[in-house]
A and B are shown apart, each in its own frame.
Chain A
Amino acid sequence: MNQPIRSATLPSAGLFFKLASDSTIAPPPPTIAAKKKFLTFFFNWQLEIGNRMIPLPLANILHHKVPSALSALGVAIGVCMMITLSGLARGSLGEVADRWEAVDADLIIYPSNWSDNITTISGGGMSDKDAEKIKNLAIGDNTAAEYVVPIYLQRISIVGIEHNVVGVRPEDLRYLLGEGRITEGRVFDPKNACANWLKEKFSTPSEKIVDISEAELADHGGLEMIIDSRLARASGLKVGDEVYSAARNFTIVGIVPAGAMVRVFIPLATAEHLFYGGMGRYTLLMVKLREGVSIGAATEAIRRQKHLKVIAVGEYRAMLEDRFGVMYIYVDTVNTITLIVAMLFIMVTLYTMVIQRRREIAILRSMGAPRMLILKEVMGESLILTICGAAIGIALAPAAGAGIEAVKPLLTVQITTQWILIAAAAAVIGGSLAAIYPAWQAMNVDVAETLSLE
């Protein structure tokens, strides 16, 4: 019911600080009075608690829901991209480094005239003699090496993706699997019949040209392949499947857990035959030192062999990052551009909001709000948007990483606390910078002119 707006509903201004009740009306019965008292208490309580002053920046954001949500989304995308792309670049390299560092060896030896980028080298640059020398290398009265694992590295395509394949003797495979063991299937022929047969073929003087058919090689167990579980999941390959690679049909005989040195293993003799065309040639020697032999002393001793280079397994990660670190620059540049775009988006949104709210800013100024308060309000809005966006981005990053790994199972997205903090800090700093110009505009609103334009 509408009451006339007179003194009954419009108490005097003088009553502001001494609200006296009108006692000319008889008091209601106790039950009604109690109910009224309760309602009054409840209403006042609700007003005091429920209407607690909402901060103006938050009120503005809630009032401009769509542009605010879009701004926060822009930041969320930027932060999510930053965390995910960094995690992808660093995770993929880190995963390779983890796999090589998991090899049960201390040193990696390779020919001195070959590239130091041992992740990409291939071919038979080392010989039986080199392996023998390292095996017999003495430091003091004892040989330094507990064992030497010769491997043949080659890059081949399997189900459309390039992989490093390692040729390894069946008995040495366990050293390259890290903590893992064969989970499905078996290792290559433990008697190594294929290797013995190939050695015999290549050492027969009557045969000037060694001609070995695919069927012969397969019959002697030469076309066997072991893959890791990630490649198996990504490609759908399983034990018993045939896979065409290096112009041969290999049979998958075993699956090892992810974390092995490479994703694809074949018998060493097969690799030597297919990729070198002879026996006794290797790409790298993985050396496990005897207990008590220092890596430094062994490294020095090996470097005295003029035609050999050596790197400690523990240095592999640094070498990898040194070689491929340029990828980080690329990724970080993309991230920076993404964040800048997100911040420009915030700046435009805030600027638009400031332009739309010139009148309200002028009202605040007319009430004596200092410029610093206006600055704080605009900066506050930016920070709220940025923090919300960053929180959403951080929350989305693991899902984005999982999505990438689901679509491309061979990629690794490593989401780290360090990059979450970097992305959050970048967003907050960027959000603050983005607010400077709109805040400056807001601080300099002409109060009289703005309020005159009614």
Chain B
Amino acid sequence: MGDSEYILEADGLHKSFGSGQVAEHVLRGLDLRIRRGEFLAVMGPSGCGKSTLLHLLGLMSGTDEGTIVIDGLNTTGLGETGRAELRRRKIGFVFQRFNLISVLNGYDNIALSLRIRGMDTSRTGELLEAMGVKAVAHKKPSQMSIGQQQRLAVARAIAHKPDILLADEPTGSLDSENAEALLELLTRANRQDGQTIVMITHSDAVTEAAGRVVHMKDGKITNENP
């Protein structure tokens, strides 16, 4: 672990899609610093670059310009192997559509995540029980309710105890009851396990759980609410 108070530091991020006249400049020199154990909510209108920011912070794609430092490690110039290694060790993702592996049952979805991380899969049952989805562990995601799928997705994201949890509108597909329950899970993960959470959301209610809220517009951070 690095000594910096920031676990994530993004400086001057630029990201475009396409080229020439059809190029779309999504991020335009974005700067962002996130402290260890912080719960950060990112808000902004559709198309402002929130998801792109999350993908860059999660090292799922490279920047055109700018640097991202994760836990003291400058990721600029890291190859795919190095980025995958960081994703394995330090980052967990929760997606709006859950993105569970459809051909695997609940148990195997968690076990696979642990296996990829080179971790012992024997406590998969324990994790499932803790998330309240042990009873449906033998079912495929398509046979589960939306709430069960999202809990399974969260279990998968935090099974390997990542330092950073990136959540892309995790409550976007949930009803208010399930959304509230999910938020509680994330909050406890943040408070009890000290995981840093960066969550994209459109919901003002969700931002109440966050310690800090940043707003984005046209590929930049426009203002922050502490």
Contact = CB atoms under 8 A, between A and B. Distances in A.
Give me the 3 closest cross-chain CB pairs, A-B, nearest first.
A368-B88, A14-B192, A368-B87
Interface of B: 51-52, 55, 58, 60-61, 80-81, 84-89, 91, 93, 95-97, 99-105, 107-108, 111-113, 115-117, 121-132, 134, 137-138, 147, 151, 156, 158-159, 177-178, 181, 184-185, 188-189, 192-193
B111 A363 contact: no
A44 B107 CA distance: 12
Given A367-B87, A451-B95, A19 B51 contact: no
Given A44-B125, A368-B87, A13 B189 contact: yes
A53 B115 contact: yes
B55 A19 contact: no
B195 to A, nearest CB: 8
Nearest to A54: B108
A369 interface: yes
A54 B104 CA distance: 8
A452 interface: yes
B159 to A, nearest CB: 8
A56 B112 contact: yes
B123 to A, nearest CB: 8
Contacts, number: 145
Given A54-B104, A366-B60, A16 B84 contact: no
Contact of A360 (B101, B156, B159): B101
A399 B116 CA distance: 44
Interface in A1-17: 4-7, 9-17
B116 A51 contact: no
Given A53-B107, A452-B55, A5 B188 contact: no
B104 A56 contact: yes
A281 interface: no
A366 B92 CA distance: 8
A184 B80 CA distance: 79
A367 B134 contact: no
6 contacts: A16-B158, A51-B108, A51-B125, A51-B137, A364-B101, A446-B61
A50 B134 CA distance: 13
Contact of B138 (A19, A50, A359, A365): A50
Interface string A42-53: 001001101101
Interface string A13-26: 11111010000000
Contacts of A4: 177
Nearest to A360: B101
A363 B130 CA distance: 23
A47 B134 contact: yes
B61 A51 contact: no
Contact of A53 (B51, B96, B111): B111
A452 B51 contact: yes
Residue of B86, B112, B192 most packed against chain A (CB within 10 A): B112
- Secondary structure dominating the interface of A: helix
Given A53-B111, A363-B101, 14 more contacts: A4-B177, A5-B132, A5-B151, A10-B132, A10-B184, A12-B185, A16-B159, A17-B123, A19-B126, A47-B137, A367-B116, A368-B84, A448-B60, A451-B55
Interface stretch (A57-65, A130-138, A402-410): A57-65
Nearest to B114: A53
Contact of B104 (A59, A447, A451): A59
Given A12-B188, A14-B193, A451 B181 contact: no
Interface in A198-229: none
Contact of A364 (B107, B116, B125, B178): B116
Contacts of B147: 5
A370 B86 CA distance: 11
A291 interface: no
Interface in A310-341: none
B108 A359 contact: no
Interface in A341-359: 359
B181 A51 contact: no
A382 B91 CA distance: 31
Given A13-B158, A367-B87, A53 B181 contact: no
Nearest to B95: A451
A369 B84 contact: yes
A366 B97 CA distance: 14
Nearest to B153: A363
A19 B130 contact: yes
A371 interface: yes
A13 B87 CA distance: 20
A368 B193 CA distance: 21
B108 A53 contact: yes
A431 to B, nearest CB: 20
B61 A448 contact: yes
A10 B185 contact: yes
